[in-house]
Amino acid sequence: MANTDFPLIFDRSKEGRTGYSFPEFDVPEFNLENEFEDSYIRKEAPDLPEVSELEIMRHYTALSKRNYGVDSGFYPLGSCTMKYNPKINEDIARLDGFSHIHPHQDPKSVQGAMEMMYDLQTSLREITGMHEVSLQPAAGAQGEWTGLMMIRAFHEANGDYNRTKVIVPDSAHGTNPASAKVAGFDAVTVKSNDKGLVDLEDLKRVVGKDTAALMLTNPNTLGLFETEILEMAEIIHGAGGKLYYDGANLNAIMGYTRPGDMGFDVVHLNLHKTFTGPHGGGGPGSGPVGVSSELAAYLPKPLLVKKDNLYTFDYDRPDSIGRVKPYYGNFGINLRAYTYIRTMGAEGLKKVSEYAVINANYMMRKLEKEYVLPYQQHCKHEFVISGKKQKKLGVRTLDIAKRLLDYGYHPPTIYFPINVEEAMMVEPTETESKETLDGFIGTMMKISDEAKYNPELVQEAPFNTVVKRMDETTAARKPILRYDK
Ligand SMILES: *Cc1c(COP(=O)(O)O)cnc(C)c1O
């Protein structure tokens, strides 16, 4: 069981021990020092651990067993779409023609890979209803920034230099105001109404000649579909602003409605969420952007185009905001998304949204019996409940999350969104069975009982994990990322 003294690979090191054997030299030895400038040559061998093959296997196998992922259990981390990543994606991504090519290769020699990218662009255009798509951005947040830079370029091309503000609802994903700031705008908050949706009166109050855009997370971070989008579009477009759709969580609407049809000018998608790119641990991701015809000229370059039956990269795009990433996007993640789209088909993708929404509503209505549900309408792919009833018993949402670890679950997102007290944001995803959903619901009910009859137990959880409560603030503020003897 729990071994808190888990030695680092460096601690296992014994001088002279090796995990490799090289054949005898059969070429003359070459003295680097005679050939190259002194400064290039490392004087001492790097300080690497010296261990046998068996030891290294045991070390990493033991570490891997401590890991938790979608392949090991239920992972309802709200807003992250930790759904199953089909293994056929991995088979396809490992095909030689995809995995053994180089971005510097002559485009004529990699037409198949380029055709895949082009077809993916076409599929994403169709799914979003946008005019043109770029696969370059490597994450949702980078897609947001790319979209805002295009909006800035559009306004500046019209001589409109005073549009310095981006309106962001208080129910937006946290990256939205951050991206606005990084793109050089001021983020202006618009409030939610008592239904948890954008307050149109407040929107009318903040909109003006200085509005560059509205960034809308839809469904918003409460998992609620914004019902007054057409009115918002009229208000923003009427004031000369642009409409940005944060489509990171497209799994809620895919196949049913499209940002392009709602009047949005820019949208980004998270292929690593909705379209099954494996993620967690920081990447790699893919956050393609789609734009209306009015903004197409500003897309990052090069743009992949088809000319005379040949796929080429078009660099001749004078109005482009330029490159946002070396090469052509995270090819491997884009390829997995393409595989997913092709295996699911249009009807399959529609079913994804259907089941994602049904699963979330099923779970929400069951949990509502013991946990406070702040907004009563049906949710989309995720929902937010509050632990404020349990808090009165001395059990905080953090305690509930820690107790879930004892029962073998990854906890939901907690304390977000910030407009809900003791928030728990739950996203079951469409890939889970009813039995799994019922198992989690039962555990949440059990923890609610524990909070009533044995609150200390929940307050002191977890008991069954390798490490107990960590000092998360210090870990975030003073991360120590390297081994020092
Ligand atoms: C995850 C998410 C993002 C950010 O995506 P990253 O790939 O993590 O940068 C943005 N908006 C929403 C709604 C999200 O769920």
pLDDT value at residue 91: 97
Give the Cα separation of 329 and 16 in Å (integer).
Answer: 43
Q: Which atom of ligand 1 is the closest one to the Cα of 270?
A: 7
116: left (phi over 0), alpha (psi -120 to 50) or beta: alpha
**Residue owning tokens 């030895």:** 29
Contact at 8 Å (CB) between 167 and 203? yes
Q: Which two tokens stand for residue 67?
A: 């890991």
Contact at 8 Å (CB) between 93 and 339? yes
Ligand 1 center from residue 175 Cα (angstroms): 7
- Atom 14 (ligand 1): residue with closest C-alpha? 248
Contact at 8 Å (CB) between 89 and 342? no
Give the Cα separation of 33 and 37 in Å (integer).
Answer: 7
- Atom 2 (ligand 1): residue with closest C-alpha? 248
Q: Which atom of ligand 1 is the closest one to the Cα of 143?
A: 9
Q: Which atom of ligand 1 is the closest one to the Cα of 221?
A: 13
Ligand 1 center from residue 407 Cα (angstroms): 28
Query: What digits encode the pLDDT tens for the residues 177-198?
Result: 999 999 999 999 999 999 999 9
- Fold (CATH) for 88-343: Aspartate Aminotransferase; domain 2 (3.40.640)
Distances in whole angstroms, Cα of residue 440 to Cα of each of 76, 89, 410, 426, 433? 9, 28, 10, 11, 11
Ligand 1 center from residue 173 Cα (angstroms): 7
289: left (phi over 0), alpha (psi -120 to 50) or beta: beta
Phi, psi of 375 (to 5 degrees): -125, 130
Ligand 1 center from residue 248 Cα (angstroms): 5
Q: Which of 81, 146, 270 to mutate to test the pocket of ligand 1 (most atoms within 8 A of CB)?
A: 270
**Closest Cα partner for 428 from 443, 445, 441, 442?**
441
Interval 149-165 mean pLDDT = 97
Ligand 1 center from residue 174 Cα (angstroms): 8
Interval 430-444 mean pLDDT = 98
Confidence band of 485 (pLDDT split at 50, 70, 90)? low
Confidence band of 2 (pLDDT split at 50, 70, 90)? very low
Ligand 1 center from residue 111 Cα (angstroms): 31
Ligand 1 center from residue 133 Cα (angstroms): 18
Interval 359-388 mean pLDDT = 97
Confidence band of 284 (pLDDT split at 50, 70, 90)? confident
Give the Cα separation of 406 and 457 in Å (integer).
Answer: 11
Ligand 1 center from residue 270 Cα (angstroms): 7
Give the Cα separation of 219 and 357 in Å (integer).
Answer: 11
**Closest Cα partner for 350 from 361, 358, 360?**
358
Q: Which of 175, 225, 244, 382 to mutate to test the pocket of ligand 1 (most atoms within 8 A of CB)?
A: 175
Q: pTM of the prediction? A: 0.91
**Residue owning tokens 């009859």:** 453
Query: What digits encode the pLDDT tens for the residues 376-424?
Result: 999 999 999 999 999 999 999 999 999 999 999 999 999 998 889 999 9
Peptide bond connecting 169 to the previous residue in cis, omega within 30 degrees of 0? no
Give the Cα separation of 11 and 3 in Å (integer).
Answer: 15
Q: Which two tokens stand for residue 213?
A: 């855009």
Q: Which atom of ligand 1 is the closest one to the Cα of 142?
A: 9
**Closest Cα partner for 243 from 255, 253, 231?**
231
The domain locations on the chain are 9-65, 88-343, 352-477
pLDDT value at residue 394: 97
Ligand 1 pocket (Cβ < 6 Å) reads 79, 139-141, 173, 175, 217, 246, 248-249, 270, 285, 287
Report the chain's mean pLDDT, rounded to a whole number. Answer: 94
> Which is more confidently placed, 281 or 418?
418
Among positive and negative, which fits the CA dihedral 100, 102, 105, 110?
A: positive
Percent of the chain whose predicted confidence (pLDDT) is above 90: 86
Among positive and negative, which fits the CA dihedral 101, 106, 108, 114?
A: positive
**Closest Cα partner for 86 from 405, 336, 288?**
336
Q: Which two tokens stand for residue 138?
A: 């490597």
Helix H segments across 210-294? 229-238, 259-262
Confidence band of 3 (pLDDT split at 50, 70, 90)? very low
Q: Which atom of ligand 1 is the closest one to the Cα of 175?
A: 10
Q: Which atom of ligand 1 is the closest one to the Cα of 283?
A: 7
Q: Which of 179, 246, 286 to mutate to test the pocket of ligand 1 (most atoms within 8 A of CB)?
A: 246
Ligand 1 center from residue 143 Cα (angstroms): 9
pLDDT value at residue 33: 74
Give the Cα separation of 201 and 190 in Å (integer).
Answer: 9
**Closest Cα partner for 378 from 392, 395, 397, 358?**
358
Confidence band of 260 (pLDDT split at 50, 70, 90)? very high
- Atom 8 (ligand 1): residue with closest C-alpha? 140
Give the Cα separation of 131 and 145 in Å (integer).
Answer: 19
Ligand 1 center from residue 244 Cα (angstroms): 14
Ligand 1 center from residue 219 Cα (angstroms): 12
- Atom 6 (ligand 1): residue with closest C-alpha? 140
- Atom 5 (ligand 1): residue with closest C-alpha? 140
Between 3-17, 144-158, 268-282, the lowest mean confidence (pLDDT) is in 3-17
Interval 469-473 mean pLDDT = 88
- Atom 15 (ligand 1): residue with closest C-alpha? 79
For domain 352-477, which CATH number applies: 3.40.50.720, 3.90.1150.10, 2.40.128.630, 3.50.50.60? 3.90.1150.10
- Atom 3 (ligand 1): residue with closest C-alpha? 140
SS3 content of the chain, % helix, strand, coil (to 5): 40, 10, 50
pLDDT value at residue 1: 36
Q: Which atom of ligand 1 is the closest one to the Cα of 273?
A: 1
pLDDT value at residue 31: 78
Peptide bond connecting 46 to the previous residue in cis, omega within 30 degrees of 0? no
pLDDT value at residue 282: 67
Give yes or no for residue 74 having a pLDDT over 90.
yes
Q: Which two tokens stand for residue 162?
A: 């005073």
Pairing mode, strands 165-169 and 211-217: parallel
Ligand 1 center from residue 460 Cα (angstroms): 32
Q: Which residues have C-beta within 8 Å of that of residue 229, sequence separation ≥ 6?
A: 216, 218, 262, 263
